[in-house]
Chain A
Amino acid sequence: MSLSAPDLEDPQDTYTLNMGPQHPSTHGVLRLKLTLRGERVIAVEPVIGYSHRAHEKMAETRTYAQFLPNTSRQDYLSGLIYNLAWVEAVEKLASIPVPERALVARVILAEFNRISSHLLWVGAFLADLGAVTPFLYTFDDREAIVGLLETVTGSRLTYCTGRFGGLSKDLDADFPRRAREVLVRLRARWPELEGLIEDNVIFRQRTMGVGVMTEEQCRHWGVTGPVLRASGVPYDVRKMEPYGAYPRYAFTIPTRPEGDVFARYMVRIAEMEQSCRIIEQALDGLPEGPILQEGSIGVKKRLKPPAGTLYYAVESARGAYGIVLTSEGGTEPYRAKFRTPSYANLAALQDMMPGSMVADAVAILGSLDVVMPEIDR
């Protein structure tokens, strides 16, 4: 038996390779149908829907408060941001005031959640590329954040601390000190990560010039978040459509012009430092006062927002998360649609991956930081 080299001119000389649905680098149940010619990817079709949980249908069959635990289970890595987004959307629809202290505390918690999500990504992504050591460092740091958030929210992964009109629990008197300790620890780590990962020649060769996306391609697919910013577009919902207490804080939107896997890594690393800056300013200006609006609806009483449709957007760790919420004046939402960032980012793989080598497929997929339950909802 002899093996012959593939005929690169022959359009028929292709074969199909299934990656997933059970594959360690898909981080969830995702199947990629790769069409290959030799070792080159010529087409990819992401097949999704393996973990569809019908969140949108559930939202129509329970009250606004009863839906709260569902929110953080869409994106379990930045669940707090999703939880607060739902709370803020309902507050806006029902015109519920929020005390100052809660607004600032939400920013602190959400930014810590963003850093923990990015840290997990750095570890898992490097493990995808074959480097196990960074995983140990980033999980060590992530543990410090998760432990800190646990003292406020009582949860470590699927947070449900948002309440209509504030938060379920106040930050204790010692919280700012512990939070600053975590910031010091994180900032001591950035140079270490730089030496360990960024300056590593193997990492650079695996990531530079791989999976390049242009701004126009991003627009075609509606890409947002770090993937878009790595293509040189300074789009961040926190700046373009400021919400909560974000307009008060000075921070920049890190971008990179290359549009490749390396750029996506660098953008996320730079974003973690910006989150630290935001947390620091928020801790400095943390006002005293109630954490939950007095006489607030809380979760016990029935909430009936006036009829209308609302589009509410926040910046999650993965990009622009949008909630389209329609009320018909009842106790349950009439319709809730979740525009999730990974959905568009994963679809963009169809433009990002063709032309690359099959060995780079894992690096390109990993660079998107997809969370499957958020895509399948």
Chain B
Amino acid sequence: MSRTAELAGELDRAGLTAAAPIEQQLVGVAESRWVPPEHLVPAAAAARRAGFFFESMTCTDRLAAHGALELLYTFNRYDEPPPPARLAVRVWVPHGMSVPTLTRVYGIAEWNEREAWEFYGIRFAGHPNLTWLLLPEGTEFHPLLKSFTAPPPSAFDDSLSAARGAPNPAVSES
């Protein structure tokens, strides 16, 4: 049994996984599990203990159809010959719910979570520095949300005071 399957089984036995909220085919990963937000930190810590590295984190807007955002974390190994060892951990984030930070488990989570916050408005509880990473400081909209419509050019003034003073109606409340 591959170490990815072992780790996925360990998560199942520890009661950290949950049923899939949506049916969505996922290709290119060895194992995939849905984890409720409150179990995310122990699940990532188990991956870290087992020698996995934090590969990527993807947020997908499913607000229109399901009223929630989807977070897809992938963990991978440096030492596993083919087939690839990629483990997908998926988190269902209903509108407005916050997700615990993984910054204490993986260093790179700090940047990935800042990105998910600025582009989707997801709050990461316990994040030490939840501020803009790629967008200009002071940006008050979350541009990767499907509901986002481009703000007027005045929102991109050099000072950005325009964006601060007049929040765009497309800004999510979450």
Contact = CB atoms under 8 A, between A and B. Distances in A.
A-B interaction: yes
Contacts of A376: 134
A57 B143 CA distance: 8
Interface stretch (A67-75, A99-107, A289-297, A318-326): A318-326
A99 to B, nearest CB: 22
Interface string A299-342: 00000000111111100000010101010000000110101000
Contacts of A57: 143-144
Contact of A56 (B53, B84, B106, B144): B144
B33 interface: no
A96 to B, nearest CB: 14
Contact of A311 (B27, B60, B81, B106): B27
Interface residues of A, number: 45
The dominant DSSP class at the B interface is loop
Interface in A205-225: 215, 218-222
Which of A93, A233, A344 gathers most chain B CB within 10 Å?
A344
B78 A215 contact: yes
Interface stretch (B7-15, B107-115, B163-171): B107-115
Given A49-B135, A309-B24, A324 B56 contact: yes
A285 interface: no
B154 interface: no
Interface stretch (A139-147, A173-181, A189-197, A234-242): A234-242
Interface stretch (A2-10, A11-19, A113-121, A347-355): A347-355
Interface in B44-63: 48, 51-56, 58-61
Which of A215, A309, A326, A376 gathers most chain B CB within 10 Å?
A309
Contact of A324 (B24, B58, B61, B111): B58
B163 to A, nearest CB: 15
Contacts of B58: 324, 335, 337
Nearest to A241: B84
A347 B107 contact: yes
A222 B143 contact: no
A52 B118 CA distance: 13
24 contacts: A49-B136, A56-B119, A57-B144, A60-B144, A215-B78, A218-B53, A218-B78, A240-B80, A240-B84, A241-B82, A242-B82, A307-B24, A309-B27, A310-B28, A311-B26, A311-B28, A311-B56, A311-B86, A320-B55, A322-B74, A324-B74, A326-B60, A337-B58, A344-B108
Interface of B: 24-29, 48, 51-56, 58-61, 72, 74, 78-84, 86, 88, 106-108, 110-111, 119, 132-136, 143-144
The 9 closest A-B pairs by CB, nearest first: A311-B28, A308-B25, A339-B56, A49-B134, A337-B58, A241-B84, A235-B78, A52-B134, A324-B58
